[in-house]
Amino acid sequence: MSPVDVRGLALQVLLPGFEGTTLPDDHRALLEQGLGGVCLFGSNTAAGHATTAALVAAVRAANPLAVVAVDEEGGDVSRLHTREPSPVLGAAALGGVGDPDLTEAVGRWVGHELAALGITLDLAPDADVNSDPLNPVIGTRSFGTEPHRVAEHVAAWTRGVQSAGVAACAKHFPGHGDTAVDSHLDLPRVDVDADTLAARELVPFDAAVEAGTAAVMTSHIVVPALDPHRPATLSPVVLGMLRDVLEFDGVIVSDALDMAGASAGRGIPEAAVLALAAGCDLLCLGPDKPAALVLEVRDAVVRAVEDGRLPAARLADAAARVRAMRVDATSQPALPDHERQVAAVAGALVREGALPDLDGAVVVSVETSANIAVGDVAWGIRPDVRVDASGAGLPSDGAALVVQVRDAARRPEVLDLLRSLARDGRAAVVVEWGWPGAYDVGLPRICTRGSSGPAVAAVEAVLRDAGWAR
């Protein structure tokens, strides 16, 4: 294989992000040279659908075979809906509803929205079983805690999105649900034996494969029962299990290699080489990356082939899998059924305690940092007041409060604020928009299992029944 061929193949397996809502000239040039594709993030889609469609068209004009990927999970994780809550329920809410037909419909609605923009790969659904209620990065992105229920919904969502002609990508193999560390920031471990892994983590991924998922995304986690030394993305043992045990024959996509779990201490180019050698086919480099980094990674892959660290056949196989990733549309476009979703999630809300009289109530959002996967997006009911966990700025006129929080169970400072309101005898209700972790602060609580337009409508109806008006 000639050096020119190797350089071309090295470009074909790369999936970088870039900065801005228009296609930079240097990334356009890379696409014209055969760059495998691009991954769109919030910084690329912030200007709205029309601008995003124009951006995708520019990508496809530069390289008609390019993969255009995005994280569009619905609910809390949306790149297309950042200024208002997503129009579709997220995974945890759908798992709470327990209707796989609705889950499939949501996947289908998301798929048709992406297809209309020209997007070809959705980095969803999340197939993690959220075993740790304090998980800082999965939470409401998971369909739940019971493996077979999660599997049923993962399969349904996969069928739905792929019926629109958009490839699904089940993530984060072999399972990121039993972690207390965010792999964006560090290297988590899942310390379970092989039997537990097979009976819990792997069940939804097996269902995704059976449902025909076009892609599976790896996780930057160490599973000592399989490979005590390497994160899954860089482990031939873990990825070999995906191929040989689950019999997955599609595209293995790496989670973003700029995440600390993959590249800390070794750098993105070396992580890329190791990921390819382990069995990854398409390498996500992360958001807002300069073209210079793409070239640096390409050159590192070329050197690895020349040095014998990466077999040329492995590189060629990865590129061939990426080129072959296509999904045919089998369903007709349709807009999300808002009323159906509102009714479904209303029946699944978790309500604890009797609500006080909410006549004249003020909606307060307790602002906390979302995890990197969720990002800076709209969530919950439009607040009247925003405060931090200190509570500074809370209305002092004695008005009843609707206090919106996210993942308060893992935020002691937020729990302290809520307990102080209860001690003061304030008429208040807590609306928990994150994972419904167990905590008792002495106030009634409504748990939604994630923010979305339908969930907001369902919660507002409950509050109005208690006298709230806007």
Which residues does the annotation mark as catalytic? 184, 255
Which residue is listed with tokens 């995005």?
70
Which residue is listed with tokens 């993969």?
67
Say if residues 238 and 232 touch (Cβ distance below 8 Å): yes
DSSP 139-165: GGGSS-S-HHHHHHHHHHHHHHHHHTT
Which residue is listed with tokens 């995974």?
91
Instruction: For residue 184, give both structure tokens.
Output: 């964006």
Q: Give the residues across from 430 on adjacent strands.
A: 403, 445
Residue 160 CA to residue 226 CA, distance in Å, equals: 32
Which residue is listed with tokens 């350089």?
7
Question: What is the side-by-side order of every strand in the sheet holding 167-173?
Answer: 14-16, 282-286, 251-254, 215-218, 167-173, 121-122, 67-70, 37-40
The distance in angstroms from the start CA to the end CA of the chain is 68
Residue 452 CA to residue 89 CA, distance in Å, equals: 6
Residue 293 CA to residue 269 CA, distance in Å, equals: 8
Say if residues 163 and 329 touch (Cβ distance below 8 Å): yes
